[in-house]
Amino acid sequence: MIVLEYLKEFQGIIGAVIGLFSGYFLRNFGTVKSESLEFKHSPYDSGPFPGVQGYRGEEYSLLGHDFRGSILFENTSESSKSIKNLRIKAGNRTVNLKTPTEKKNMVGNIVFDDLNHLNIPAKSIVKAPIGFGFKVGDLDYQKGKKLYLEYEISGMLFTKSKKLALKIE
């Protein structure tokens, strides 16, 4: 009984502190939703340039796979979120993602650089152009098999891992 009378004197302060903490958690409540747009698959082999007929019907061996596409990230919270450690997974192996940039590593006619993190502002949608390629031995990929995008969402309080199946044409 004495404790309740003592708490009545501080009910305004206690209510303000509880309101402050609950408002903070509600503003950060929300997550990053992702959606895979169509990815184009281009296998590459040991043969001549695309469209060129091989000499005497030679067989060319498959060297690797190349993928280009986009992913939409939607931040539903009222605070910005950071996406880190983006990687592609097939089976039990992973490959790091790349994104178009102005310089550095050349892949064909498009310049790509490693995609380490992506910042998404509050209540917004970001379309990220993504490309990745790998040699035959790097990932366990066969046509028709699923590839997954794995990433981590870093918020104010914790880090959450997510997995997204890619739509491949």
Give the model confidence (pLDDT) of 117-166 as tens digits.
Answer: 788 888 899 888 887 777 777 777 777 778 888 888 876 566 778 888 88
- Per-residue burial over 111-144, b if 16 or more Cβ lie within 10 Å, else e, is ebeebeebebeeeeebebebbbbbeeeebebeee
The residue ranges of every structural domain in the chain are: 1-29, 31-47+60-165
For residue range 52-105, list pLDDT tens digits in order.
Answer: 554 545 556 677 778 888 889 998 888 888 888 888 888 787 877 665 554 555
Confidence at residue 109, expressed as pLDDT on a 0 to 100 scale:
46
Question: Cα separations (Å) of 80 from 20, 64, 86?
Answer: 19, 37, 18
Confidence at residue 100, expressed as pLDDT on a 0 to 100 scale:
56
Question: What is 31-47+60-165's CATH topology?
Answer: Immunoglobulin-like (2.60.40)
Helix (H), strand (E), coil (C) string for the chain = CHHHHHHHHCHHHHHHHHHHHHHHHHHHCCCEEEEECCEEEEEEECCCCCCCCCHHHCCCCEEEEEEEEEEEEEECCCCCEEEEEEEEEECCEEEECEEECCCCCEECCEEEEECCEEEECCCEEEEEEEEEEEECCCCCCCCCCCCEEEEEEECCCCEEEEEEECCEC
Confidence at residue 112, expressed as pLDDT on a 0 to 100 scale:
53
For residue range 25-44, list pLDDT tens digits in order.
Answer: 776 677 788 888 888 888 77
Looking at per-residue pLDDT, the higher value among 159 and 12 belongs to: 12
Confidence at residue 98, expressed as pLDDT on a 0 to 100 scale:
62
CA distance 154 to 149: 16
Q: Closest by alpha carbon to 61, among 43, 49, 78?
A: 43
Confidence at residue 106, expressed as pLDDT on a 0 to 100 scale:
46
> Is 50 exceeded by the pLDDT of residue 1?
yes
Confidence at residue 50, expressed as pLDDT on a 0 to 100 scale:
53
77 and 30 in contact (C-beta within 8 Å)? yes
